[in-house]
Amino acid sequence: MIGFDLTPEQKALQGEARRFSKEVILPVVAQHDRDGTFPVDVMEKAHQQGFFTPLVPKKYGGQGLGVLDNCIISEELAAGCMGIYVSIFVSTLALYPIIRFGTEEQKERFLKPFCSKFSIASYCLSEVTVGSDPASMRTTAILNGNHYLLNGSKMWITNGGYADFYLVFATTDPAKKHKGIISLIVPSKLEGISHGEPIDKMGQRASNTTSVVFKNVRVPKENLLGGEGEGFKKAMAALDITRPMIAIGSVGIARSALELAAQYAKKRIQFGVPIAQHQAVQFMLADMAKDIEAARLLVWKAAWLADQGVRNSKEAAMAKAFAADMAMRVTTDAVQIYGGMGYTKWHPVEKLMRDAKVIQIYEGTAQIMRLVIARQLLQETEKTLF
Ligand SMILES: Cc1cc2nc3c(=O)[nH]c(=O)nc-3n(C[C@H](O)[C@H](O)[C@H](O)COP(=O)(O)OP(=O)(O)OC[C@H]3O[C@@H](n4cnc5c(N)ncnc54)[C@H](O)[C@@H]3O)c2cc1C
């Protein structure tokens, strides 16, 4: 059976997130975008609302929500500001492998305190020389008695300067490629950890992005998540769940761009009529609306599959690839509809366009998403009727 109605609970979550976006996020968006500063107070309020811990089971103090529920919340937060939303979202990216693969002791030790007091987490996979090909990572974790000795540098780490703990992927033996990768839960207060200055980015400027350096950091052996040789699988499993959550951020950005463009088109007069009456402008608005709708449906399907416990790598990649490209197109067209005004800092549409770009890059680039889709597609076509 297919249905698109939200449940009363989902409508309530949507309303709560929309209110938060309007009352807490929107008033500070322009300032943090301009200054490139991290809105700690907004983060604290978002944590209080439970937006940092939607997937954490209630027994550890989280919200116990599903991936689809969370996508409904996420669209509203991203509609306010994608940079702020992504800063909230990254904690889920780091917590999800613990929820899925952690021991009971690890869940008690890390999830409970994270839920009960304001905390931030980061996900450390990428390095300067290693982005799309994480199996070639250079950060090492060598077992030494009761500790792993962690050495290396991670790059592009969202919340890197503010995290209470990092979920770090490292190799026990670079020659083993993906089979050598492990994941470690690394409290940021351990000796030997430092981070770089915030990276001055084109968009999503309210998010904090830094390098994080680990120098002879002694990580207790009991902070190993799952077994050795399992780290790569865990990193990928987390991405299948979180890609729909990033994809829905694209829907949020694009929705805001469409709303602004439609309002502007109704007010702006050229050739004696509002530009919304020119068919070329109407077609742009119509394309924006249909592509947003299509992206949302792809995301909802990928999220629904995740909630059913069905492997969704292909659908998550489709949702992420389509939604990211859609957001880039829609925000670019919103600037077009604003004309010269769209190209200035006087109106918010240029920010939406800058914020959209990086969604085609992080959580797997547009090209890598297509590789994931094609790989599975080619396997599936071996089983067709003809
Ligand atoms: C703002 C921001 C926040 C981020 N946050 C995090 C974070 O919190 N944690 C984290 O671990 N990482 C994070 N990242 C890193 C991000 O995931 C990587 O930037 C991304 O995976 C791409 O890696 P790269 O930048 O090294 O590009 P590269 O891998 O060098 O790719 C460069 C280009 O080559 C293409 N390419 C590469 N390989 C192939 C191939 N096989 N076939 C076709 N094309 C290919 C890519 O698609 C891309 O167009 C963040 C990045 C940014 C910009």
The 8-class DSSP code of residue 101 comes to H
Instruction: Check pLDDT > 70 for residue 33.
Output: yes
Alpha carbon nearest to ligand 1 atom 23, residue: 131
Q: What is the CB-side half-sphere exposure of residue 304 using CA atoms within 13 A?
A: 11
Ligand 1, atom 4, lies closest to the CA of: 156
Taking the C-alpha atoms of residue 117 and residue 8, their distance in angstroms, rounded to an integer, is: 29
pLDDT band with cut points at 50, 70 and 90 for residue 143: very high
Nearest residue by C-alpha to atom 24 in ligand 1: 131
This prediction's pTM:
0.96
Q: How confident is the model at residue 234 (pLDDT cuts 50, 70, 90)?
A: confident
Residue 227 confidence (pLDDT) = 86
Write the Ramachandran bin of 350: left for phi over 0, alpha for psi from -120 to 50, otherwise beta. alpha
- Nearest CA residue ID for atom 35, ligand 1: 367
Pocket of ligand 1 from Cβ distances under 6 Å: 90, 122-126, 131-132, 156-158, 201, 204, 209, 358, 361-362, 365, 367-368, 371
Residue 235 pLDDT: 77
User: How does pLDDT run across 340-381, given as a tens digit for each residue?
Assistant: 999 999 999 999 999 999 999 999 999 999 999 999 999 888
Give the number of the atom of ligand 1 that is nearest the alpha carbon of residue 159. 8
Nearest residue to 373 via CA among 291, 302, 294, 304: 302
Token digits for 27? Answer: 């008033």
Q: Residue 129 CA: which ligand 1 atom is closest?
A: 26
The single residue listed with the structure tokens 């693969």 is: 101
pLDDT for position 1: 59
**Mean per-residue pLDDT, 273-289:** 98
Atom of ligand 1 nearest to the CA of 93: 8
Q: What pLDDT digit, counting tens, does each position of 99-142 carry?
A: 999 999 999 999 999 999 999 999 999 999 999 999 999 999 99
What CA–CA distance (Å, rounded) separates 305 from 121?
A: 26
Rounded Cα distance, 27 and 252, in Å: 17
- Catalytic residue (one of 23, 363, 380, 382): 363
